[in-house]
Amino acid sequence: MMPRPHFDFLDLPRQMPQELGVATRLALGGEIYGHFPPAEAKAQAGRCLDCGNPYCSHACPVGNAIPQWLELVRQGRLFEAATLAHETNPLPEICGRVCPQDRLCEGACTLEAGFEAVTIGSLEKYLVDEAFRQGWRPDLSRVKPRRERVAVIGAGPAGLACADRLVRAGVGVTVYDRHDEIGGLLTFGIPPFKLEKSVIATRRQVLEAMGVRFQLATEVGRDIEFGRLMAEHDAVFVGTGATTPVDAGLPGQALPGVLPALPFLIANARRVLGRPLAEDEAAMLDLAGKTVRVLGGGDTAMDCVRTAKRLGAARVSCVYRRDEAGMPGSRREVKNARDEGVEFLFHRAPLAIEGQGRVQALRVARTEATGRGAFSVLEGATETLTADVVILAFGYRPSPPAWLVGHGVRLAGNGLVLGGPAAAGSEPAWCIDSPYQTSLPKLWAGGDALRGADLVVTAVRDGRDAAAAMLRQFKGIAIRSAA
């Protein structure tokens, strides 16, 4: 690369792509940020200081070569930028949209203090979208087919990343998923105002053109036996996620009008995709004119409050037990929710959901911070909030399928699949070099099924790295314990 200017940031402020006005984005329902024009993308990429010690790359869970592809964008070399972005991240256009960059790469940017960070996420989205639009596709012309075949269970980010890396190495891959579209929670959980479904459709086309086979609307354990997949493949990867909601045990949470977050978001995704809705799904989405209280402070809670606004709720509030600084989700999502008219009620811990026949109110206790994210309930300081609908967004725990247990896969006490030395237990019969290999040597796991509910980008990393470990084993490279 040619030497680059290092001080563009002194004259050019940080700029995001054009943002739709609130009324327009609530009416349209799609992504709220537009695309950079090429000249603006080049200019924003030129703000990179090229600081020599790329804190942005170090803070990225997949270790993206961010300064390098920013320079390629600045020079207008989009195809090279897209190729480089895919070297570390099998799903860059998705991570560019849904990663909490303010807590990761952009939060670590040298310019963040004093000059504002480079718009890394928006530029990642731009370079891949525009390269796809211009016809760029991964070059597999030199890939030689291998004899191995791998089954991937779960078409979420971990499974897709694993499939991408395996097929690039010539391995035959079939991905099984119980849904009729790929993406897992990318499709059926994350709302279209953050990730339009056409983005997932494009990625499916790219993967299929690379040679990945998808067998959808197929539930392992019901439509096809897990044992058959193990017998017919050289390896199996499990990326089934963590979708069982955390149970807060609130009195009244069984009342009609109390909705778990994930079924609510899935119903909305099915509506967006034009799928027929069951009666209970349609009822979940009937929020017009209602008062909606969402309990929780993470990105799922932000997805719920913003979805409720788009479904016509008259009043939407996020009820959270800590202060705003203690919220675990993206600061950008909190800002977007506030811009769209969502009310935030901090320092309120839910005590009970009340009503006769259906939800009518939410009783909460006031709290105060006691340091390091801890809080205490103020004695006698309670209040009752009117509510027509209460959405529970307390997070998710592992959801190990019954067939895993039935085949002797070692699980942690909380249901997570055990990988690495922990999976081996006291059995000396096999020895591994990867945290993704389970107690069945042919079975690998990654994403939320292995680590618990986490970010999309960490699931991508797991799928990518599990595939790399499989390939080492396929090639007969000596393996050793990671202990």
C-alpha angle 102-107-109 in degrees, rounded to nearest 5: 135
Under a CB-based contact definition with an 8 Å cutoff, are residues 313 and 291 in contact?
yes
Of 399, 349, 76, nearest to 238 by C-alpha is: 399
- Last residue of one domain, picked from the residues 83, 106, 133: 133
* Residue 436 forms part of a structural domain: yes
Q: How confident is the model over 301-329, as a mean pLDDT?
A: 95
**3 within a domain of the structure (yes/no):** no
pLDDT score recorded for residue 313: 98
Is residue 2 in a domain? no
CB-based contact 410:450 (threshold 8 Å) = no
Residues 359 and 453 in one domain: no
The reported pLDDT for the residue numbered 482 is 35
If asked whether residues 185 and 82 sit together in one domain, one would say no
The token pair that represents 412 in the structure block: 């942690």
Residue 398's pLDDT band (boundaries 50, 70, 90)?
A: confident
Element (H, E) at 422: helix 421-424
Reported residue count of the chain is 483
Q: Pairing between strand 149-153 and 235-238?
A: parallel
Instruction: Tell me: do 325 and 438 sit in the same domain.
Output: no
Considering the domain architecture, whether residues 220 and 267 belong to the same structural domain is answered as no
Whose tokens are 């929710």? That residue is 337
Report how far apart, in Å, the C-alpha atoms of 262 and of each of 30, 73, 276, 396, 406 are.
19, 37, 18, 9, 27
**pLDDT at residue 205 above 90?**
yes
Residue 339 and residue 384 in one domain: yes
State which residues form the domain around 79: 8-133
Is 91's pLDDT higher than 90? yes
Q: Which whole number is the average pLDDT over 242-248?
A: 91
End-to-end CA distance of the chain, in Å? 41
Taking each helix axis from N to C terminus, what angle separates 197-210 and 157-168, rounded to the nearest 10 degrees? 30
**H or E element that contains 280:** helix 279-284
Distance CA 282, CA 276 (A): 9
223 and 196 in one domain? yes
The confidence score (pLDDT) of residue 433 equals 65
Q: Give the whole-angstrom CA distance, residue 437 versus residue 452.
A: 16
CATH code of residue 188 = 3.50.50.60
Q: What is the mean pLDDT of the chain?
A: 93
Same domain, 284 and 345: yes
**423 vs 179: which has the higher pLDDT:** 179
Give the Cβ contact number of residue 371 at 10 Å.
Answer: 6
Is 281 in contact with 260 (CB distance < 8 Å)?
no
pLDDT per position as a tens digit, 111-127: 998 899 999 999 999 99
172-193: pLDDT as tens digits: 999 999 999 999 999 999 999 9
Same domain, 384 and 403: no
Quick: pLDDT tens for 280-297: 999 999 999 999 999 999
Which CATH number characterizes residue 120's domain?
1.10.1060.10
CA distances in angstroms from 144 to 89, 166, 469, listed in the order given: 22, 12, 19
pTM here is 0.93
The whole-angstrom separation of Cα 231 and Cα 252 is 47
409-422 per-position pLDDT tens digit: 999 989 999 998 77
377 with 261, same domain? yes
> Per the structure block, which two tokens stand in for 57?
């790359």
Displacement of CA 38 from its chain's centroid (Å): 27
Among residues 341, 371, 394, the one where a domain terminates is 394
Please check the confidence at residue 478 and state whether its pLDDT lies above 50: no
Looking at the structure, tell me whether residues 264 and 387 fall in a common domain.
Answer: yes
Range of weakest confidence among 35-44, 167-176, 431-440: 431-440
Number of structural domains the chain divides into: 3
Residue 362 and residue 441 in one domain: no
